[in-house]
Structure 1
Amino acid sequence: MDSFLFSLLLVFALALGGRDQWLVARWADALGRRVSLLLVGVAAAVCTAALMAWAGAGFADRLPPRAAQMLVAFALAIAGAELVWPVRLKEPREPTRSLGAIALVLAGRQVGDAARFAVFAFAAHAHWPVTAAMGGALGGGAAIVLGWSVGSAGLVRLPLRAIRLALAACLILAALLIGLNARYATL
């Protein structure tokens, strides 16, 4: 249950101001608040959370406990580095109306973002990786819903860059502490 709650909260927080949230917000502005766009965005969040949880659990099962703990540290460090990277999206010249294309672009953006690396880390460390996947799916879906509902004008008003930098510092510190614990822990 802990991995579900932590994954849900952390994925929602890490997805704030993310590339996928901005894309959905811009598409919602350009195409209107279509429910089909929202459903595609949430479906992409569910699929990518499940994929990253499966990958995290699969890698961790093949590693000794301390190496799995180091894997978690690396995943959190990568997530922190992705948060530091500024989000600069080009304005779409011609918004696509193809839900399949939108789903592919969103899934491509989500697979490598900080929120999904957090799902990877939680699934690698959890006894029940499914709970990390469910929490990540709900947190990612909630971030998509927020972007869809407020649009890009609403997201601009939020201090998203400062939030992302603060979360990056926390993730990098957590990665450092987990990595040091994995390296210097005595069994």
Structure 2
Amino acid sequence: MDAFMFTLLLTFIIALGGRDQMIIAQFSDELERTNGLLILGLACAAASAAVMAYAGWTIAAILPARAANMLVAIAIAFAGLELFWRIKLKPMKEPTRSHIAIGVVVLFRQFGDAARFVIFAFAAQAVYPVVTIIGGALGGMAAIAVGWGLGKAKLDRYPLHYIRISIGVCLIVAALFIGLNARFATL
């Protein structure tokens, strides 16, 4: 239950102001909040969470315990570093109004974002990785739904970049402690 709740909450918080949420928010403003766009965003969030959780679980399963802990530290450090980058979106052009094109862009953007690195890290440490898949998918889907519902104009009013920077600092500190624990733990 802990892995589910932590993954759910951390994925949602980290995904606020992320590239995937902002892309869906931008297109929801332009396409007038179509239900197809929401379903597409939710499906992409679920698929990317499942792939990253499965990857984290399978890679950690073949590693020794200390190496798996170091893998978690590295994944969390990458997540923290990714939160420092400012999100800049280009204006929409006519060919990008295709739902398939939007889905491909959102899905590939999600594979390198901080929220999915956190899902990867939690799945690497989870006893039952299915709970991290469900928690990560629900957290990502909630962030997508917020972006779709508010739109980019309303999301730009909030200081999401500064929130992301503060969360990034916290993640880097957590990665440092996890890495030191993995390095100097006596098993």
TM-score computed with the length of structure 1 as normaliser: 0.98
Structure 2 residues not aligned, in runs of 5+: none
Q: How does 1:118-133 map to 2 (within 5 A)?
A: 118-133=118-133
Describe the SS at the equivalent of 2:94. coil
Describe the SS at the equivalent of 1:84. coil
CA distance in 2, matches of 1:134, 1:101: 26
Q: How does 1:98-177 map to 2 (within 5 A)?
A: 98-177=98-177
Alignment partner, residue 22 of structure 2:
22
Identity rate, percent: 57
Is the CA contact (8 Å cut-off) linking 1:42 and 1:145 kept in structure 2?
A: yes
1:157 positional shift: 1.2
CA distance in 1, matches of 2:41, 2:136: 14
CA distance in 2, matches of 1:95, 1:143: 25
TM-score computed with the length of structure 2 as normaliser: 0.98
1:98 positional shift: 2.1
1:67 positional shift: 0.4
Structure 1 residues not aligned, in runs of 5+: none
1:97 positional shift: 3.2
Is the CA contact (8 Å cut-off) linking 1:28 and 1:34 kept in structure 2?
A: yes
Is the CA contact (8 Å cut-off) linking 1:30 and 1:95 kept in structure 2?
A: no
CA distance in 2, matches of 1:180, 1:9: 25
1:88 positional shift: 1.2
Alignment partner, residue 80 of structure 2:
80
Alignment partner, residue 90 of structure 1:
90
1:76 positional shift: 0.2
Cα deviations across residues 9-57 of structure 1 (Å, max 9, x unaligned)? Answer: 0000000000011100010011111011000000000000000000000
Moved more, 95-104 or 71-80: 95-104
State the AA in 2 paired with 1:16. L
CA distance in 1, matches of 2:95, 2:127: 42
Alignment partner, residue 9 of structure 1:
9
Aligned residues: 187
